[in-house]
């Protein structure tokens, strides 16, 4: 389980144990400390379209990208892997017709060490997800489940929330918003 210290110093991995992270700087402070990265496009903010789910309101990690549409087979497959404190970024095409993420895969993601999940689409089983120690952002919730065809694309650039997000970039999320950076940030 990760622990967070909300003092104003920065997103930083604790040296006490590699799996413990401390949120020591807010996304606002990261923006203030890195205006040159904002100007050259290396630090971008997603549009504020995402609702906050899960117990972990502050999280960060290296991005893994996935593109699916109303199908959650690949989402589940990714979350069954070891997360290594990464963030799964799922471009669900912005669909509001069904949920592409539910409670069981989120529990699995929590148990496998994922830091968070960003969904450009809907989730379901909100009460179960809100009980998990993981960060989840999604456009909304929807009771209908996704199809199970296994269609989608992995590890490619996705575009939503007003910005491009590439596999291997870094994502920082807190209650102010979501940032994407080409490299890991420090203040």
The answer on whether 54 is annotated among ligand-binding residues is no
CA 91, CA 87: separation in Å to the nearest integer?
13
Tokens linked to 62: 């290296």
Tokens linked to 105: 């895969």
The answer on whether 105 is annotated among ligand-binding residues is yes
The answer on whether 113 is annotated among ligand-binding residues is no
Provide the sign of the torsion angle of the four alpha carbons 4, 7, 162, 138, taken in this order: positive
The answer on whether 125 is annotated among ligand-binding residues is yes
Q: CA end-to-end span of the chain, whole Å?
A: 25
User: Strand, helix or coil at 174?
Assistant: strand
> Do 101 and 89 form a contact (C-beta atoms < 8 A)?
no
Q: Which residues are annotated as a binding site for Mg(2+)?
A: 124-125
Q: Which residues are annotated as a binding site for substrate?
A: 102-105
Q: Which residues are annotated as a binding site?
A: 102-105, 124-125
């Amino acid at each position: 389980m990760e622990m967070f210290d909300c003092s104003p110093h920065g997103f930083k991995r604790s040296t006490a144990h590699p799996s413990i992270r401390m949120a020591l700087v807010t996304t606002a402070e990261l923006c203030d400390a890195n205006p040159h990265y904002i100007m050259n496009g290396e630090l971008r903010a997603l549009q504020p379209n995402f609702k906050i789910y899960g117990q972990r309101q502050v999280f960060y990690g290296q991005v893994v990208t996935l593109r699916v549409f109303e199908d959650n087979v690949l989402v589940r497959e990714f979350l069954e892997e070891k997360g290594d404190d990464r963030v799964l970024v799922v471009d669900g095409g912005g669909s509001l017709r069904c949920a592409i993420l539910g409670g069981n895969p989120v529990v699995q993601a929590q148990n496998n060490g994922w830091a968070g999940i960003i969904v450009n689409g809907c989730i379901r089983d909100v009460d179960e997800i809100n009980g998990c120690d993981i960060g989840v952002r999604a456009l909304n919730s929807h009771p209908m489940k996704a199809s199970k065809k296994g269609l989608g694309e992995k590890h490619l650039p996705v575009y939503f929330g007003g910005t491009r997000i590439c596999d291997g970039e870094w994502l920082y999320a807190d209650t102010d918003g979501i940032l994407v950076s080409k490299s890991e940030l420090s203040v």
